[in-house]
Structure 1
Amino acid sequence: MTVGLKAHYFWFPIGTGDFLHSFFSTISYNLEPNGWGTKYPVLLKSLYHEQLDKAQIPALQEELNNARELLMDIPPNKVIWDIEDLSKRPPWGDDISPEITSLGNYFVSSDSKQVFDIFLKAIETALQYDLDLRIHSM
C-alpha cells in the first residue's frame, strides 16, 4: 500500500507507511532532543496525526525547510527506521546510492523524487488552491 500526501483530489505518492514513518522518525530523533513534535509540531503532531488545516500550511513549509537544512549536516548512517524500536534497520541496510550524502537527501521515493521535494510540491499545490493537506493511503 502506498502512502502519500493528499490535498483534496491532488495525490503525491511517497512510498510505504514504514518508509514515511522512517522519514518522520529520523527528523524527530536527530533534531528534537525534547521528543516527538517539540520542535516541529505542525509536521510531527498536526500533519502526522490528522488533516492539516490550510492555515497551518505556511508553518509546515517553514518546518520542513528548517529540518532539511539541518539534516544536510548529518551523515546517512544516522537514519532511524522506527523511533519506537531503534534496533530496526532499513530493509536495504547500508546499501545506499553514493549520491546520498546526508539525511537531507536520504529519503527518495520509488520514482526517484526527494521526499522533501514531494512535501514541498504538495504544500505549493495546497497553497495555490487553498486546500487542507493530509497523509493518505492508497
Structure 2
Amino acid sequence: MNAASLMKPDPITLSPDDSISTAAKFIMANRYRSLPVVDADGCFLGVFGVNCLLKKVLPKAALMDDGLTNVSFIHETLSDLKERFREVENESISMCMQRDIRTLPPDTPLIETLHTLYNNRASIPVVEEGSCKLLGMISYWNVGEKILSA
C-alpha cells in the first residue's frame, strides 16, 4: 500500500482567486478543516483553511506576535466577529493561504504516509512526482475508513 491507495482522488479544490466567502461556504458545508488550492492547470499551490478564517475574525490584539498571553479581557460578540468577516469576505484567499505544505508523491510507502499524516496533523496533498499536479488528498477519515475495512 502507498499514498495513492489512501488518497481521495479529485478533491474539492479552490482557485487562488476565489473569495474568502466562497472558501468559507465550501469549508462549512463540508465540515473541512482546509481545502487545497490549485491553479487553472491543476498545479497545487497550497491550502486555505479554518485557521485563516479565525485569523480574519479575531481582534488584532489577540494575534500580536510575542504579545498578549491572556485575552480574557477582550469582550466581543458574534456580531462583532461577523462584521470583521464582512470586511474581508470578498478578498482573495491567496492573501492568507498556507503555501509551505508538505506534499507526498503517490508511491510513498504506507507507514511513511501515515507518519507524515501524524506529524502534520492535517490532510496531506498527493502531488504527481516531477510536476505540481494535485492527484488527491489524504485525510484522517480516508485512513480510518481503510484501516477499519481491512
* TM-score scaled by length of structure 1: 0.28
Structure with bigger RCO (C-alpha 8 Å, 6+ apart): 1
Larger gyration radius, structure 1 or structure 2? 2
* TM-score scaled by length of structure 2: 0.26
